[in-house]
Amino acid sequence: MIRKGRTTLDMTFDDLKKLHQKKYRETLGAFLVEGEHLVLELQKAAERDPRLRASQLYVTQEHADWHSPFPLQVIGARQMAQLSETRTPQGLIACVPQLPPPPPQPGERAICLFEIQDPGNLGTILRSLAWFGGFRCLLTPGSVDPYNAKVLRASAGAIFHVPIEIDVPLETLRERYGTLAILDIAGEPLPAPAFHNFDAYLFGNEARGLPCDVLTELKTQAFTIRGHGAIESLNLATAVSLCTWELSRPG
């Protein structure tokens, strides 16, 4: 939520420029999305979640007639370039309030990501979760900020359609979820009927995986995606996407 009593409507231009940095996104409780596709996804999400209607849209003159449910402000090309994080600004940027995720829904599964670092990986994962539906994303401390501009672009707007929880300690998962599954090279191969029987699915850091001591405490069950090629492992986003596809198949 917007902190310090501010809203997206009364932020100064200097405030908006600060939203390129994580610490100010946290302090001001807002983030920027840029480009036609992300703004359209934001508008679609605002139809479902009225809280997102507190967003503010900034456009250059060529987009002055943009139809939007949000207050619209026309700014100059120089100002747009200062707000943009791309070489060629598209002339559309929205300031969006950071909102707490809705409570879990019946039948919803959790995808837990331990210290994920690559913004492209996280964006791609969110896109897969939004495509299949029925998933919540949990990020442990030390993970990349989901409101990072690279994550937002890679998510293709999925950021607005997947409940996301930030800074979730690993040790709290056992309190919340009765059954936890992980991917491990020595696990039971997929597809496996038992893989569908878990409340949460835990995936490790791209380079280091998951800490062994925590896994022992959490009492996880391991599964694996078998491969027959020459490389050692799958890309994290690919592995999560394959698992969510498997979970979305009819039992």
The 10s digit of each residue's pLDDT in 72-106 is: 999 999 999 999 998 899 999 999 999 999 999 99
Phi, then psi, of 142 in degrees rounded to 5 = 90, 5
- Give burial (CB, 10 Å; 0-12/13-18/19+) of 3: exposed
Out of 3.30.1330.30, 3.40.1440.10, 3.90.580.10, 3.40.50.300, the CATH code matching 8-97 is 3.30.1330.30
Task: Inform me whether the pLDDT recorded for 9 exceeds 70.
Answer: no
Residue 52 has pLDDT above 70, yes or no: yes
Q: What is the pLDDT of residue 3?
A: 42
pLDDT for 6: 55
**pLDDT at residue number 5:** 45
Query: CA-CA distances (angstroms) from residue 161 to 176, 179, 189, 249?
Result: 22, 25, 30, 20
Is 232's pLDDT higher than 80? no
Matching residue, tokens 């939520």: 1
- Tell me whether domains 8-97 and 109-248 share a fold: no
Look up the CATH superfamily of 109-248: SPOUT methyltransferase, trefoil knot domain (3.40.1280.10)
Report the pLDDT value the prediction gives residue 142, as an integer from 0 to 100: 96
Q: What was the pLDDT predicted at 2?
A: 36
Given a cut of 50, is residue 195 above it in pLDDT? yes
Does the model's pTM come out above 0.75?
A: yes
Residue 223 bridge partners (DSSP):
188
Q: Among 218, 220, 144, 219, which Cα is nearest to 183's?
A: 220
For the chain, the average pLDDT equals 92
Which has more pLDDT, 143 or 228? 143
* pLDDT confidence bin for 250, thresholds 50/70/90: confident
Residue 65 backbone class (left: φ over 0; alpha: ψ -120 to 50; beta: rest)? alpha
Give the C-alpha separation, 158 to 33, whole Å.
Answer: 12
Q: For 43-47, 86-90, 228-232, which range has the lowest pLDDT when averaged over its residues?
A: 228-232
What are the extents of the domains in the chain?
Answer: 8-97, 109-248
Q: Report the pLDDT averaged over residues 144-165.
A: 96
User: What confidence tens digit (pLDDT) does each residue in 103-142 have?
Assistant: 999 999 999 999 999 999 999 999 999 999 999 999 999 9
The span from the CA of 158 to the CA of 19, in Å, is 20
Mean pLDDT score, 205-217: 85
Residue 218's pLDDT is: 87
Q: Where are the alpha helices (DSSP H) in the chain?
A: 13-18, 22-28, 36-48, 77-83, 119-132, 149-155, 173-176, 212-218, 236-248
In terms of pLDDT, which residue wins out, 164 or 218?
164
pLDDT of residue 230: 66
Per the document, the length of the chain is 251
| Among the ranges given (48-52, 154-158, 164-168, 209-213), the one the predictor scored with the smallest mean pLDDT | 209-213
Count Cβ atoms below 10 Å from residue 14 Cβ, excluding itself.
7
